[in-house]
Amino acid sequence: MMRIKLLLRVEDRVSQIPINYQYPLSAAIYKILSTSSSEYSDFLHNQGYLGADGKLRKLFTFSRLNIRPRAERRDDVLVLRPRHEITLTVSSPMLKDFIQHLVVGLFQDQRFEIANMKTKGTLLIERVEACPEPEFTPEMKFKALSPIVLTTAVERNGKLSTHYYRPFEQGLSEAVRQSLIKKYETSTGHLPADTSLNFKVDQDYVTRRGGPEKVMTLVKLKEGHPDQTNVKGFLAPFTLSGSTELIKTAWEAGLGDKCTMGFGCVGEIKDM
């Protein structure tokens, strides 16, 4: 069980959560982990797993909140009511660490508090389900359960700045491949036997939506804080072809950057 799905409901007659709930939701996940093990939660939050490249990685991801029927939006909050069915998917390759502590914590503290500087909402955990693992093959189609973010450093006016890849930019597929190789090596301690991978966004879908800019989305992390960060990602179906080990890593650990902030969670589309 590398992935779980949570069925959530609002605690009160009405509840409000921030539109930009990714950062508060990440904080809520760390709080749930600390209920099981404060040592592990502190380790993951402050350090993480050391990769062969010397970088520390948290190695988990989570989806956007799937809210049915669609929640009412008022300014910068989402209004949730008891009639809403809300699901959240959380995934990690670290079964004996992350997943086990998360499950234990969920049964000890059966609520999520999602808050920023302006608003706070509490969601009750009604059910926890194990998600079946797909049969990983050399070519698979996926949908983005949360925005996909890939970045690179570029020089502008003599200074380095962050560039966010758009769906069909040159270098995107290789950036995906390199990121997944590093996640695989960090989680397993060795390189995959096959390091080939191609990432291809569904061009027909993007065309129907009106072009690459129409599938881009902006998320504010630490909204309202002095160190607020605006993150750009895209939501579109895509195909991964090549190494089944790397494809599995994308499903378990997330695809791209900032996965632990609620980006890069993917789900299989079974009809090729």
CATH number, position 231: 3.30.70.1900
What whole-number distance in Å separates Cα of residue 120 and Cα of residue 111?
Answer: 13
Residue that the structure tokens 């797993």 belong to: 49
Average of per-residue pLDDT across 112-132: 92
How many whole angstroms separate alpha carbon 58 and alpha carbon 212? 29
- Show the domain range for 95: 3-130
pLDDT of residue 12: 83
| Count of the separate structural domains present in the chain | 2
Q: Are residues 92 and 114 in the same domain?
A: yes
Q: Do 251 and 145 fall within a single domain?
A: yes
Among candidate residues 270, 240, 272, 241, the one with its CA nearest the CA of residue 255: 240
- What is residue 111's predicted lDDT score, i.e. its pLDDT? 87
pLDDT in tens, 144-191: 999 999 999 888 888 889 999 999 999 999 999 999 999 999 999 999
Last residue of one domain, picked from the residues 102, 130, 158 = 130
Strand bridging mode 139-144 / 266-269: antiparallel
Q: Verify that 114 and 205 share a domain, yes or no.
A: no
> Does residue 272 have a pLDDT over 60?
no
148 and 107 within one domain: no
Q: What value does the mean pLDDT take over residues 9-24?
A: 92
Percent of the chain, pLDDT > 70?
Answer: 99
Looking at the fold, whether 20 and 121 belong to one and the same domain comes out as yes
Is the pLDDT score of 231 beyond 80? Answer: yes
Phi, psi of 103 (to 5 degrees): -65, -45
Residues 65 and 181 grouped into a single domain: no
Measure the CA–CA gap between 185 and 7, rounded to whole angstroms: 32
- At CB < 8 A and 24+ separation, what contacts does 81-85 make? 81/10, 81/13, 81/14, 81/15, 82/9, 82/10, 82/13, 84/9, 84/10, 85/7, 85/9
Rounded Cα distance between 34 and 98, Å, is 11
Q: Of 130, 151, 176, which residue sits at a domain end?
A: 130
Shared-domain flag, residues 35 and 147: no
- List pLDDT tens digits, range 76-111: 999 999 999 999 999 999 988 999 999 999 999 888
Share of the chain above pLDDT 90, in %: 86
pLDDT value for 271: 61
- d(Cα 50, Cα 252) in Å, to the nearest integer? 18
- pLDDT per position as a tens digit, 29-52: 999 999 999 999 999 999 999 999
Q: Which of 108, 130, 152 is the last residue of a domain?
A: 130
Predicted local distance difference test score (pLDDT) of residue 22? 96
